[in-house]
Structures are given as C-alpha cells and as structure tokens.
A and B are shown apart, each in its own frame.
Chain A
Amino acid sequence: MSALLLARIQFAFTIGFHFLFPAMTLGTTLIILISETLFLTKKDEVYKKITDFLVKLLGLIFVIGAATGIVMEFSFGTNWSGYSRAVGDVFGPILAAEGVIAFFLESVFIGVLIFARNKVSPKVYWLSALLVFLGGHLSAFWIVVANSWMQTPAGYAINEAGKIVLTSFTDAVFNPSTIIRFCHTVMASWMTCAIILAGIAGYYVRKGLHGQTARTMLKISIILFAVTPLLQLATGHIHAIEVINMQPEKAAAFEGHFNTAKGVTLYAVGFVDEQNEKTYGIYAPKGLSFLYNFDWNSEIKGLKDFPKENWPPVNFVFQAYHIMAGIGILSIALGLLGAYLLWTKKIYENKLYLFILPFLIPLPHIAHETGWIAAEVGRQPWIIYKLMKTADAASVVVTAGEIAFSLIIFCLIYLLLAVMFIKLFVKIIKKGPAV
C-alpha cells in the first residue's frame, strides 16, 4: 500500500474512533446542565443523583476523548505536513483558538465537576457544569470551523508567491457551511446522549431498579429523544441544501445522481452501479427536487457535469449517506412513540418499549460515523475543496513502513481502549446512581 493510502486509513481510523467520545461528551454535558439546574431550582435530591451518575460516565468518556484527541492535533504535522505548510495562515489560528478559547475552559472545569462536589457551593458547582457545557460546545464549534473551511473555504487569498494567506478571519470562521454543520453536529451529539440515557433508564425501569431516579432519567431522556431527531431532520435538510449549492458533486454522490435533470428522484435505499453510471433502489419520484426548494421540477446538477477525476467513490458515499438518513428517520419514529407513551403515562409499564431502548444505543453512533464518512469521502479527491488535493497534502518524508507501524499500534491501543471503555461503562451503569 502507498504511504498516502496508509496515511488516509490512519486518519480515518483515529478520527472515527475519537469522534465517538466528544459526540458523547457534548450531549452528556447538556443533560448534566439540565439536571443540575433542576436540582438548584427544585432542590430535589433525585436530580443530584442523576448529575452525579452522569458525571461518572462523563469522566470516563472525556478522558478517552482527550487522550485520542491529542493524536488528531499532532496528525496534521506528522502525517499531513504538506497540508500544514500550505494552510498555516488560516487553519493554524483556528486550532490555536480552539485551545485558548475552548479546550482550557472544558478541561479545567471538568476537574471541578468530577472532584469537587463537596468542596464548592451548589452555585459554583452549577457554574462549573455550565462552563463545561460551554467549553465542550465551543470546542465543537472550532473544530467544525476547521472542517467547514476545508469543505467551503473562505476568507483567504492566494498571494503572488502562490501561498494561501488570511484576508478575513471572520469570513474564514463563518464560511458558508460552518453554522449549519455546527448545528447538525451538536444535534447529533444531543440525540446520541438522549438515546444512551434512555437506554440506561429504560433498563433500570424495566428491572425495577433505582425507583424515582430512574423514572426521572427516563422522562428527561425521552423528551430529548422526541425533540432532537426532529430538530436533526431540520438541520439535516438545511445542510443538504447547503451541500447541493456549495459542493454539488458531493450532493450528487449522496443520491447517486449522474445526469443533470429536473424532477430528480430521492432514494430510500439503493445501489449505485458505478460502471454503467446507474442507480437502482426504492425511491420517491421527484423527491430530491422537491426537498431542494419545494418545487417538484427544480433542476439539480448531476455528476456528469463535473470531470470524472473529481468524483468521489459514488456508491460508498451513497450507502454511508443513506445509512445515516435511515437511522435518522427511525429515530424520529421511535422518539415520537416514546413521547406518546410518556404523555399517556404508559411508558413505565410498557416492557417491550423499555426492552428495545438499550438496543438503540449503537444506532446514533453508526449514524454520525456514516454521516462523517459521507461528508469526508464525499469531498474527495480534495482535502480543501477545489483548492488542494489530498494527494498533495501528505508528509513527504514519512514512509509507508512507518505509517504501517504506527497504524498497527493505534489499532492495538484503541482496541484496548474500546474494550476497557465498554467494560467500565457497563460497570458504572450496573452500579447505578447512589441510593
């Protein structure tokens, strides 16, 4: 295998593994903030127990996120030094701002959340929960800025030496895809944690464990589970329109759409025959055109309008995108069903629904992994859309053998982390909130 391909595999593997953890962190900090706010206002010990329980999970999630996150910051230099040399002017300040403005806040106050329940007043503790929530979301904001700039670069110019220089930091930060990508990413994370907590609480309630604490956890999580997938549908819709406008090749690959046409179909499931440039599957006629601007006959560009060497791998992107969307739709249905059961107060006795809940926990993870695969592989062959190719970004001095070596070690270490994480996560859940 070439050094380039190995570097891509290593980046995909390490970022894919890493993302699982910050995705869980954000939603957890939201639910902690909710339960701690309720504790401060209602003075009900149940909320304190929920906070304390979630803080234990957060400690475990956060540490793996932090440990695997530093790998990502190093990787731009270690594996993508061509990229680093080219984009230091724009990309560097985004990473540095993330450290100064966000990581410190999150990392310093998470120490208070985990270790200082009995050392600070309830108000300072609540403030720490708020600051960890803010720090986490600011971290997400800055890294989404970094990614969005690679998708829809703005705020730069190319000077006479052919170098990318910064012209407007505001334009670079608020490039055309930042805000919507941030909303879509954060909502994915909230949804993930709504489903995780619903799974845990559902298990407790079905087994008759932890009484009122478990019921309250279930209530909070089901409300979030009903709301977040719907909001995610909205952000997903706006994001898809942004992609059609800004990165039409990628949008066309999402739907396996080859020929520019009016009244373009929307596939539920399908398969792209890349050889014959045809897509098969179950579809809604004119669906994509309708969703694009609520006009059944609007025109959407197909892949054939673009040079073939700039196409991403179409079927791969198509499948990833559709797995994500399918899980999104399934989540909406199951979330609304939960809300209905909660509204009619039947949820605590509905053994079947409670039984299903824990099995949903992997779904949001699969959805955000496939969503990112669609977004990132869909951008290929570009590392910065229409500005720099991935092939020109890799480190020139790092050999295939060196990357193969580090990749094998990463696989072994991350396997160990995954096994330990699941083991200890389950252990904390089995121990449950304090009585």
Chain B
Amino acid sequence: MENIQNFQILWFVLILILFIGYSLLDGFDLGIGALLPLIGKTKEEKDILINSIGPIWDGNEVWLITGGGALFAAFPHAYATAFSGFYLAMMLVLFALIFRAVSIEFRSHDDARAGIWEKAFFAGSALAALLFGVVLGNVVYGVPLDNKMEFTGNFFTLLRPVPLLFGVTGFAAILLQGASYAVMKTEGELQERSFRAVGILTWVNFITAITYFLTIAFTFQDITSNWLFYVAILCTLLWLAEILFSIKKKHDSAPFWESSCSFIGLWLAVAAVHFPNLIKASNDQNLSITIYNSSTGLQTLKLMSVIALIGMPVVVAYTIFVYRIFKGKTKASDHY
C-alpha cells in the first residue's frame, strides 16, 4: 500500500504540472484573444496579435488534452465526476474552445466577415478563460457528492461566490499573461498600448490575488499552518511587484516571465489547500474524492509514470525548439 501512495502523490504533482503548463501557455493565447479588441485597434495590429499566437496556440491546447487524459488515467473517478457533474459548464468550455480555434483560421480566409470571426475569437477566448477558474474553484471549495461519488448539485451550484472569485482571479491572471506576451512580441504603438495594459492588469491582479488568498485563509482555517501557502502568497505578490519595475524599465520579455511566475503562485495555493483532495465534498468531508480513493491500480500508475517521465521532457525540448523558430517580434505579414 505504501508503494501505491507514492505514485498517487506523484500523479497529483504531475497533473498539477500539466495544468500549470496549460494555464501558462494556453493562458497567454487565450489572454491575447480576450484582449484583442482592447489592445488591437487597427486591422494590422489585430493581424500582428493573432499572428503572434498563430503557429503555437494549437500545441498549447494539447496541454489541456493531455492533462485531461492524465486525469482519466490516474484518477478516473475525479475525471468522471467532474466532467459529468459539471455537464453544462463543460459544454460551455467546449463551445468556447471550438469558436476560439476555428475563428482564427476562418478569419484568415474570409476577409468579408473578419469582424465577426474576431468577435467569435474574443468571446471564445474570454469565456474559456473565465470558466476554467470557476470549475477549479468548485472542486477546491467543494460540491455536494453522494456516496457513489456522483455530483448531486446543479448548474447553479457552480455559481457560488467563492468559485466565482476563483474564476475572476484566473481570468485576471490569464489577461496578464496575454498582455505581457503582447509586450514581448510587438513593437511601436501596439507595444506601448500593451505596456499600459500590463500596468493596469498588474494592479488588477494585486486586488484579485490578495482577495483570493484572504478568502482561502478564511475559508480553510487549517491552511494558516501550511508553509506552502505562504510560499504561494510570496511567489505571486513578489513577482507581480517585479512586473511594475520591469515595465518602468521597458523590459519587453521580463514581464511575461514574471507574470508566469506569479500565476504559479496561485496554483501553489490550490495545491496547499486541496491536497490530497481532487474533488472536495461540501456536504461531508468523508465523501470527498481524493487521490487515495479514486486512483487506478499500481500497474497503470507505474506505466503512466514511465510514459510521462520519458515523454514529457522530449515534448518540452521540441516545443522550445519550435518556439525559437518564431522568436522575436511578430510582423503583420508573418502569415502564409
């Protein structure tokens, strides 16, 4: 039994890493989508913003697919309960992701309706960016479960204040990812506007992050004795403060990395408060779905560990190789 527990803990960490990878990478392209009407004023500026994510957004989305697959393979009950229980919310996520994906491609071929596809791209990106946090907030805050691990609430159960706060916090972090990515990839007036967006969004993130940490501290009382929670707070707030210095000095790539680090702090707080839960039961803690009562067998977890620990470094290596092909400032003409 000792043995399988180590693998269950390992898979909690690996799935956390996959979701962090997803939120940082797809975070910046969802953020670009959600900010498109705000920082892209002309057709040319919108072209630049969309081209800056054109070659890579799809690889970024695979982090979500792999994260979902890993959840299925390691903790099938958590996957089954969350996806079936939050059915309508998951469907909204899917509809949003479909629109954000196809609208970039349709826009590039369909000049007559470019404006409609830009709106679809914006709406899809923004809705997905908001919903991820709401879903995460619910599994952390807790939802009603029965003794067969089934969700017993409804769609409106998901819309409680604390999960909504998670949604807003995640949304703000994703916007900051997008704005700081835009600073890195653009120049001139568009970059100036992106710098201003980063400045405003950093302050917004201070407000949302502090509210988020305070809410967690008051909601989960025993968290105040957990060192990881303080690491998380420091990580987020210090890196947010760094962004303010970087934009004063007009560093164009530092804000993106600092934004990413502050985002990781938000995730560390989830890890601190949530472990070993996967879906907390709000009605009775004994009904919670944890890494111990929902996992697959030892054989599957071992196999998955081999696949992940060999496969993911290779994936990261060639992803970096491809990102380097597209490094530097994006031009409006960077398109096929």
Contacts and interface: CB of A to CB of B under 8 A. Distances in A.
B311 A85 contact: no
A169 B307 CA distance: 12
A163 B322 CA distance: 43
27 contacts: A59-B105, A64-B105, A67-B97, A70-B64, A74-B83, A77-B79, A77-B83, A84-B72, A84-B79, A88-B75, A88-B79, A92-B79, A104-B62, A108-B56, A108-B315, A108-B322, A109-B318, A111-B56, A112-B55, A115-B51, A116-B326, A166-B296, A166-B303, A398-B84, A413-B95, A417-B102, A424-B109
A401 to B, nearest CB: 10
A406 B152 CA distance: 20
Given A166-B299, A424-B109, A92 B62 contact: no
B143 to A, nearest CB: 11
Contact of A88 (B73, B94, B98): B73
B28 to A, nearest CB: 15
Interface of A: 52, 55-56, 59-60, 62-64, 66-71, 73-74, 76-79, 81-82, 84-85, 87-93, 95-101, 103-105, 107-112, 114-117, 119-120, 159, 163, 165-167, 169, 395-398, 402, 405-406, 409, 413, 417, 420, 423-424, 427-428
B325 A120 contact: yes
A74 B90 contact: yes
A78 B299 contact: no
Given A78-B91, A92-B74, A110 B58 contact: yes
Nearest to B76: A88
Nearest to B318: A108
A423 B64 CA distance: 30
B198 interface: no
B215 interface: no
B77 A85 contact: yes
B311 A89 contact: no
B287 interface: no
Nearest 4 pairs of A and B residues by beta carbon: A88-B76, A77-B83, A92-B73, A99-B66
Contacts of A93: 73, 300, 303-304, 307
Contacts, number: 232
Residue among B76, B97, B307 with most chain A CB within 10 A = B76
Given A116-B55, A424-B110, 11 more contacts: A55-B336, A67-B97, A74-B68, A81-B80, A88-B76, A103-B65, A104-B62, A111-B54, A111-B56, A166-B300, A423-B110
Given A101-B307, A108-B59, A395 B335 contact: no
A417 B315 CA distance: 30
Contacts of A427: 109
Contact of A165 (B152, B297, B325): B297
B228 interface: no
Interface in B192-227: none
A311 to B, nearest CB: 30
B315 A104 contact: yes
Contacts of A76: 72, 79, 83
A434 to B, nearest CB: 11
A76 B77 CA distance: 12
Nearest to B148: A396
Classify the interface of chain B: helix, strand, loop or mixed: helix
Contact of B102 (A63, A77, A90): A63
A165 B299 CA distance: 8
A104 B58 CA distance: 9
B61 interface: yes
A100 B66 contact: yes
Contact of B106 (A62, A100, A167, A424): A424
B88 A85 contact: no
A77 B94 CA distance: 13
A416 to B, nearest CB: 9
B304 A107 contact: no
Contacts of B65: 69-70, 73, 99, 103
Contacts of B106: 420, 424
Given A96-B72, A96-B304, A424-B109, A104 B59 contact: yes
Contact of A74 (B56, B61, B94): B94
A413 B124 CA distance: 13
B72 A420 contact: no
Residue among A55, A91, A108, A114 with most chain B CB within 10 A = A108
B239 interface: no
Nearest to A108: B59
Contact of A114 (B55, B64, B79, B83): B55
B324 to A, nearest CB: 10
B94 A71 contact: yes
Interface string B42-70: 00000000010011101101101110111
Nearest to B328: A119
Contacts of B51: 115
Given A92-B76, A97-B307, A104-B319, A67 B98 contact: yes
B98 A92 contact: no
